[in-house]
Amino acid sequence: MSGLLFRIAPPVMAVRRPHRMIERHLLAYRHQWLIIVSGFFEPLFYLLSMRAGLGDLVGTVRFGGAEVPYDQFVAPALMASSAMNGAIFDSTGNVLGRLKYFRLYDAALATPMTPADVAVGEIGWALLRGQLYAVSFLAVMWGMGLIGSPWVILALPACALIGFTFAAIGFAGTTFMRGWQDMDIVNTALMPLFLFSATFFPTSSYGKWEWVVQLSPLYHGVALVRAANSGVWTAGIIGHVAVLLGLALIALAIAARRLDHLLRK
């Protein structure tokens, strides 16, 4: 892995002006705020359905050595999913349009910006969108009485890491897309991630397939947010952070390398 990073990392070192991309998007979206907030509602509707119906049927779930209400168990996972949605949707469909159809990045490279500036700026913007969803979801959890511990405030940096990871993965994947039809791959991949990342059930419920769940990047994010909401910390938290951070850095380096190749060929 060190050899791979050595080969793909140099473009990232050229980052100087990524904030210019973020400034551009702030100006572009100031009158289109509904587009930004739209992806927040799907996890919210899931949470409301858990609170209104399924939660009463399930009752409690054992987590962290205690029995917790089912909606309180699911809420942190949906918060993590909300951060993922905000980051992944912005770093795939929007980036694809700017890269292949609107040629926005060609214009950006006519300035002193570098491909690495574009990549880091886009990933930073997607991270901010994911964090906006996370903050809003945390407010909803507080309003519904689903906060389990004062440590829940640490769910926000956890969601920032989730957003960073999925924004980088989404951007890197988008550089390999041929056109809009490839967006179907993103939607196809997100659904099993959402459903099979210990979002709705403890990992013990998966039996011998528990190891498959642990392959999901979202699983590691869900574990972090759930730990913050419960205030139960274990040594495994370090592993979850390491996995997400490692995936994010590798994807970021690949994204910068691929963007440099696409825009300069």
**Secondary structure element (H or E) that encloses residue 76, with its range:** helix 70-89
pLDDT band at 240 (very low <50, low <70, confident <90, very high): very high
pLDDT band at 229 (very low <50, low <70, confident <90, very high): very high
Q: Is the pLDDT of residue 136 over 80?
A: yes
Q: pLDDT tens digits, residue range 173-204? A: 999 998 898 898 988 888 888 888 999 888 88
How many Å apart are CA 124 and CA 164, to the nearest integer?
7
Q: Is the pLDDT of residue 211 over 80?
A: yes
pLDDT band at 4 (very low <50, low <70, confident <90, very high): very low
| Residue for token pair 């300069």 | 264
pLDDT band at 109 (very low <50, low <70, confident <90, very high): confident
CB contact at 8 A, 226 and 246:
no
Query: In the chain, what are the domain boundaries?
Result: 2-264
Comparing 115 with 96, the larger pLDDT belongs to: 96
Q: pLDDT tens digits, residue range 6-63? A: 344 444 445 667 888 888 888 887 776 666 666 667 677 777 777 666 666 777 888 8
pLDDT, position 160: 95
Most confident segment among 48-52, 113-117, 151-155 = 151-155
What residues contact 153, with CB distance under 8 A and at least 6 apart? 228
Amino acid at 49: S
Comparing 55 with 225, the larger pLDDT belongs to: 225
| Residue for token pair 């942190």 | 76
How many Å apart are CA 115 and CA 60, to the nearest integer?
50
User: Among residues of the chain, what percentage have pLDDT more than 70?
Assistant: 87
pLDDT, position 25: 84
**DSSP secondary structure of 17-68:** -THHHHHHHHHHTTT-HHHHHGGGHHHHHHHHHIIIIIHHHH-EEEETTEEE
Average pLDDT over residues 218-238: 93
